């Protein structure tokens, strides 16, 4: 644990140039990242976000694949495909440009950069296989002809799906062969929080390599004639004791820096900082249970407590007096205040005021009014049941909080029951606690409340995007109109 004392900060310039590793320079197999019928398990955020783009810890699966040197094709629902901003991938191709075997990865796979590197290096010469879980295929190593058949099968599914009840994408593709690697995956959106701690520890090991990266976030288009946003800059993070901007504030130690003398130091712990991070006096960064990772341009205001494992994304601001507990991660440009524990916030989420949010997954461009609070534990300590829009589901988990889709908003004093799901662009207000499932475009949140007019919703969303230095492109409007038709 480290409490920061008053010391002047000196800011340096941009990150060093990219160094391509020997692993990245080697020829890698073509990779196909896909989403399938299981995407509904990741509602409400999957209504407007491909499962391949769902961040766990610091990165999503596409970004981790890029860091491992992999490239290829992304298979995304057609109404979301135009919102990809990554230039190095083929989006929804009709055929694959690959002469040899192809690696297929489901977007819900949870793989570290190191495991992806091992996978890409070790696959050549491995016999074909299809490996999955009770929900469907996870990873497949397919010859070119079988890959072509799998792609045709995916397109048959994608052409007819409307994100409701739909059959499996993989007609006739049954598990076979042996996958030599241990592949884990998310089953549902509420699995993101339990997976965060281990993922952030893996991310800390990756950061120790000192390798830079550059993000291309899904659906984010910088405002015209604006300076390059902080999230688009080349970035690398360093252990706090080695960062020139914070010399003298942190002990120059290896894993476990900042911990009290006598505590164990385990590999993967530590404090990592990007450039232009601003830490006010009285801030406590506690890495005793896991790494604390503050990305480029993060600002932490006075008397805040940040516990690891924790990731705070580029350009985010933690307001004075915040208490952020471990197993949490925050995306680009978040505004964070009050008490938050074991939660994942996506990009440009606003929680500017007091109130408790725990074991939650909060979508992008959301706004939680002052004192908005969610329950994450039932009074009888029993397993939490949720409704993601296709019936009640027993999570088997004791702790499940709020799950909120993109562009949803709450009024001051809003209270949520354990495991509540709030759909895309819904506005929650009024005195009553909303039901456990609130569909998208709800105006009020109650079962008898009217629908939120899509034109009004788009007008508000355009203002929200503009305030964060982003612009609404035509494909974004088309996506909102499509979702309003559910």
pLDDT at 477: 97
Question: Among 366-370, 458-462, 482-486, which is the least confidently predicted range?
Answer: 482-486
- Could you tell me the pLDDT band of residue 27, with boundaries at 50, 70 and 90? confident
- Which CATH superfamily includes the segment(s) 203-484? Hexapeptide repeat proteins (2.160.10.10)
CA angle 246, 250, 254 (to 5 degrees): 115
**In the chain, where are the structural domains located?**
22-195, 203-484
- Could you tell me the pLDDT band of residue 374, with boundaries at 50, 70 and 90? very high
- Could you tell me the pLDDT band of residue 8, with boundaries at 50, 70 and 90? very low
Report d(CA 347, CA 362) in Å as an integer. Answer: 9
**pLDDT, tens digit (0-9, with 9 covering 90-100), for 378-397:** 999 999 999 999 999 999 99
**pLDDT, tens digit (0-9, with 9 covering 90-100), for 152-165:** 989 988 887 544 45
Q: Which residue has the tokens 């908005």?
A: 372
Rounded mean pLDDT, 101-123: 96
**Residue 402 pLDDT exceeds 80:** yes
pLDDT at 250: 78
**pLDDT, tens digit (0-9, with 9 covering 90-100), for 334-347:** 999 999 999 999 99
In percent, the amount of the chain with pLDDT more than 70 equals 89
Rounded mean pLDDT, 306-320: 97
Please give the torsion angle defined by the CA atoms of residues 81, 202, 2 and 338, in that order, rounded to the nearest 10 degrees: 40
Omega prior to 44 cis, within 30 of 0: yes
Report d(CA 343, CA 59) in Å as an integer. Answer: 15
pLDDT at 166: 55
Phi, psi of 422 (to 5 degrees): -120, 125
* Selection from 409, 396, 420, 413 nearest residue 442 by Cα: 409
* Selection from 422, 432, 476 nearest residue 454 by Cα: 476
- The per-residue DSSP string of 121-189 comes to HH-TTPPPEEEEETTEEEEEEE-HHHHHHHHHHHHHHHHH--SSS---S-TT---BS--SS--EE-SSG
- Could you tell me the pLDDT band of residue 4, with boundaries at 50, 70 and 90? very low
pLDDT at 243: 87
**Residue 321 pLDDT exceeds 50:** yes
pLDDT at 269: 67
**Residue 2 pLDDT exceeds 50:** no
**Residue 29 pLDDT exceeds 80:** yes
Question: Among 13-22, 38-47, 178-187, 333-342, which is the least confidently predicted range?
Answer: 13-22
Omega prior to 309 cis, within 30 of 0: yes
pLDDT at 85: 95
The two structure tokens encoding residue 60: 């999503």
Report d(CA 364, CA 369) in Å as an integer. Answer: 15
pLDDT at 90: 96
pLDDT at 238: 92
**Residue 280 pLDDT exceeds 60:** yes
- Could you tell me the pLDDT band of residue 120, with boundaries at 50, 70 and 90? very high
**pLDDT, tens digit (0-9, with 9 covering 90-100), for 47-104:** 999 999 999 999 999 999 999 999 999 999 999 999 999 999 999 999 998 888 999 9
In percent, the amount of the chain with pLDDT more than 90 equals 79
**pLDDT, tens digit (0-9, with 9 covering 90-100), for 201-258:** 999 999 999 999 999 999 999 998 888 899 999 999 999 988 888 877 776 655 544 4
The two structure tokens encoding residue 127: 């016999």
**Residue 145 pLDDT exceeds 70:** yes
pLDDT at 308: 95
- pTM for this structure? 0.90
pLDDT at 263: 28
**Residue 26 pLDDT exceeds 80:** no
- All residues at 6 or more sequence positions from 198 whose CB lies less than 8 Å from its CB, including other chains: none
pLDDT at 361: 98
Looking at the domain covering 22-195, what would its CATH class be?
alpha beta
**Residue 486 pLDDT exceeds 90:** no
Compute the mean pLDDT over every residue in the chain, rounded to the nearest whole number: 88
Rounded mean pLDDT, 352-358: 97
């Amino acid at each position: 644990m480290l409490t920061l004392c008053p010391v002047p900060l000196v800011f340096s310039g941009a990150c060093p140039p990219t160094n391509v590793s020997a692993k990245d320079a080697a020829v890698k197999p073509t990779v196909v990242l896909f989403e399938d019928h299981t995407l509904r398990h990741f509602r409400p955020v999957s209504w407007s976000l491909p499962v391949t783009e769902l961040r766990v810890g610091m990165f999503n699966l596409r970004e981790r694949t890029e860091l491992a040197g992999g490239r290829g094709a992304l298979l995304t629902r057609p109404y979301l495909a135009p919102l990809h901003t990554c230039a190095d991938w083929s989006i929804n191709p009709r055929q694959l440009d690959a002469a040899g075997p192809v690696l297929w990865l489901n977007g819900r796979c949870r793989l570290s950069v190191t495991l992806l590197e091992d996978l890409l290096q070790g696959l050549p010469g491995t016999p074909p296989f299809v490996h999955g879980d009770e929900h469907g295929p996870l990873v497949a190593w397919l010859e070119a002809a079988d890959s072509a058949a799998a792609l045709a099968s995916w397109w048959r599914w994608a052409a007819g799906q409307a994100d409701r009840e739909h059959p499996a994408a993989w007609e006739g593709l049954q598990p076979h062969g042996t996958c030599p690697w241990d592949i884990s995956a998310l089953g549902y959106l509420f699995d993101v929080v339990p997976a965060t701690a281990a993922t952030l520890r893996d991310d800390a090991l990756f950061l120790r390599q000192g390798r830079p990266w550059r993000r291309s976030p899904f659906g984010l288009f910088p405002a015209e004639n604006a300076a390059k946003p902080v999230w688009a800059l080349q970035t690398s993070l360093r252990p706090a004791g080695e960062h020139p901007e914070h010399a003298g504030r942190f002990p120059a130690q290896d894993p476990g820096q900042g911990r009290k003398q006598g505590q164990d130091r385990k590999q993967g712990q530590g404090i990592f900082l990007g450039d232009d991070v601003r830490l006010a006096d009285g801030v406590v960064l506690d890495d005793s249970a896991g790494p604390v990772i503050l990305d480029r341009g993060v600002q932490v205001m006075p008397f805040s407590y940040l516990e690891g494992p924790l990731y705070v994304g580029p350009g985010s601001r933690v307001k004075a007096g915040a208490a952020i507990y471990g197993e949490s991660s925050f995306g680009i440009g978040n505004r964070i205040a009050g008490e938050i524990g074991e939660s994942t916030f996506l990009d440009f989420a606003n929680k500017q005021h007091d109130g408790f949010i725990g074991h939650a997954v909060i979508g992008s461009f959301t706004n939680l009014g002052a004192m908005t609070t969610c329950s994450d534990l039932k009074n009888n300590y029993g397993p939490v049941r949720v409704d993601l829009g296709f019936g009640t589901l027993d999570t088997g988990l004791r702790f499940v909080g709020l799950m909120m889709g993109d562009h949803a908003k709450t009024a001051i004093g809003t209270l949520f029951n354990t495991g509540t799901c709030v759909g895309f662009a819904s506005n929650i207000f009024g005195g009553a606690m909303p039901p456990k499932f609130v569909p998208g475009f709800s105006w009020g949140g109650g079962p008898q409340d009217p629908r939120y007019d899509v034109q009004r919703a788009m007008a508000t969303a355009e203002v929200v995007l503009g305030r964060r230095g982003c612009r609404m492109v035509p494909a974004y409007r088309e996506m909102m109109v499509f979702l309003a038709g559910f």
